[in-house]
Amino acid sequence: MKDLGEADVILGVRVMKTPNGISLSQSHYVEKVLKKFNSFDVTPARTPYDASISLCNDEIHSTSGYVFTLGGGAISWKSAKAGLSPFSRDCKAAIGVAKNNVYNGKKRHIRIRHGVVKQLQKNGVIALDYVKSERNLADPLTKGLTRRVVLDMSRGMGLKSLNQV
């Protein structure tokens, strides 16, 4: 073994020591993606959603997303166009489908997912609870929101601006 010193990047995440502890950042990755799609020098919008842009027919599918937190901070998140899954619909509807003892869908992959969710719920591994929109940390990943709501949800995920690190 060879001592390479303190780690500065681990699995694409930059690790920085700060007076308050350790800070993790993926700003270099965000910059790389922005440059790849020729969006590095664009003017930032006040919110992630620009209401002045009209959606095309292939962009009207709903978006689903999730945020997993641990110890007050986000550890995993995803935002994607929703497919044909009972778990990518409205939260109340998805909970109802998952808690229903009878699955009446026709798609095999959904039936299998339904069975897995039911078993995890029965074993106490997961719990399905309705989360109101104003407390749903995944909302900024799935819909256009006001700047205040985006900032509140970001703080709820444990995210801080680079100025606060």
* 162 domain residue, yes or no: no
Contact 159, 74 (CB under 8 A): yes
Beta carbons within 8 Å of 129's beta carbon, 6+ residues apart: 95
94 and 29, same domain (yes or no): no
In this structure, what token pair is assigned to residue 96?
């109802």
* Helix, strand and coil percent figures for the chain, each rounded to 5: 35, 20, 45
Contact 46, 147 (CB under 8 A): yes
Tens of pLDDT, residue by residue over 67-123, are 888 877 888 888 887 666 444 455 676 667 667 666 565 555 566 677 788 888 889
38 and 56, same domain (yes or no): no
Q: Residue type at 148?
A: R
19 and 56, same domain (yes or no): no
Outline where 24-106 has alpha helix (H). Answer: 27-36, 91-99
Beta carbons within 8 Å of 63's beta carbon, 6+ residues apart: 79, 80, 81, 82, 141, 142, 143
Number of domains in the chain: 2
Contact 99, 122 (CB under 8 A): no
Mean pLDDT for 6-10 is 84
* 164 domain residue, yes or no: no
What's the pLDDT at 54?
63
66 and 139, same domain (yes or no): yes
92 and 132, same domain (yes or no): yes
Domain that holds residue 98: 51-157
78 and 9, same domain (yes or no): no
Mean pLDDT for 142-148 is 78
- How many CB atoms are closer than 10 A to CB 91? 17
Tens of pLDDT, residue by residue over 24-74, are 888 888 888 889 988 888 877 665 565 566 656 575 567 778 888 887 788
61 and 110, same domain (yes or no): yes
Backbone angles phi, psi at 63, to 5 degrees: -115, 135
